[in-house]
Structure 1
Amino acid sequence: MERAQLLDEYIDVYMKSLKYLDSFVSEPAMKYKLSFEQYLIMHDIAHQSHVTLARIADKRGVTRSAISRQIKVLLKLDYIYQQQDEKDHRRQFLHLTPRGSKIEAILAKAAEDRFSGWIDIFGEDRAMDLLQFIRAFSEAANLENKSRNL
C-alpha cells in the first residue's frame, strides 16, 4: 500500500471510528450541559486530591485560561467549588459539590459500561494492544512536535 493511500485510510478510520471515542462520554455529558473536557475536569477532581487549575492545565498541556473557562462553567452549574489553601492563600483547590459528585459518578459509570462492552467484543488483549499503539503513536508525535519547535 502506498503511503498516500495509507494516509487516506488512517483519515477514514479516524473520521468513522476514533472520533467516536470522544462521543462515548460527551453524549451522556450533554444531558448535564457538560463538554467532554468539563467532565474530565470533574473526573480528575473526583479521583485526585489537591486538584488545582494549574495542575489540570499542566496535565492536559493547555493554558490556564483554557481550563479557567471550563471551571467557570462548572462553578456556575454548581458542580464544583473552590477552597482556598490554608498554607498558600493564592492557591485554590477544586472540589465537587454533592450534585457534581452524583453527576460525575453517573457519567463515569456510563463510560465504564460502554468501554466494558467494547472489551467484551474485542477482548482485553486487543484492547491492550490498541492502547500500547496509541501511547507509542502519541509519544512519537510529541517528539516530532518538540523537534519542530527547536
Structure 2
Amino acid sequence: MILFIALVLFPLTAHAVTPSEMLADPALEARARAITTELRCLVCQNQSIDDSDASLAKDLRMLVREKLKEGMSDGEVREFVHARYGDFVLLRPPMKPGTLLLWAAPLIALLAGAAAVWMAARRRAGFPATPAKALSEEERARLKTLGVSDLERPKS
C-alpha cells in the first residue's frame, strides 16, 4: 500500500527543469531552484516557473540562472524579474493597495461561504428570515367576515 501511495504521489514532485538547464555548481543551482519556485509562470499562472513546461517559463529559468552566474544576489534576481514583469510574476505578491483585494479574496470567499451555509441551514430548519407579525384587530375582523378564523392560515 505504501508503495502504491508513493507511486501515485511521485509525479507531484516532478519539476520541469531539464538537465541541460541545471548549473554545474550545486549551491548555485539550489539558489536558482529556490528563486524559481517563488516566481509564477506567466502562461500557466497557477504554477511556478520551476514546475511549468511552458517555453516562457524555461526562458525565465534560464534568465534566473544567468543572473546568478553574473553574481547577482537572490534578492537582486527576484527584483530584476519583478521589475520586468510586475507583481503578477510573484507567487506571493507584496501587500500594498493594488494587491489588497488579492490578499483579502480568500477571507471574503470564506465569509461568503459561511454566510451561505448559515442562510441555507436557517431555511432548512424552517425558521423564517423575519418573524411573522401578529394580526391586528382590523385583520382579525376582516378574516371573520370572510369566514376564516385567524388560526386557519392559508398554506403558501
Task: Provide TM-score, normalisation by structure 1.
Answer: 0.24
Task: Provide TM-score, normalisation by structure 2.
Answer: 0.23
Higher helix share: 1
Task: Using CA pairs under 8 Å that are at least 6 residues apart, name the structure with larger relative contact order, 1 or 2.
Answer: 1
Higher strand share: 1
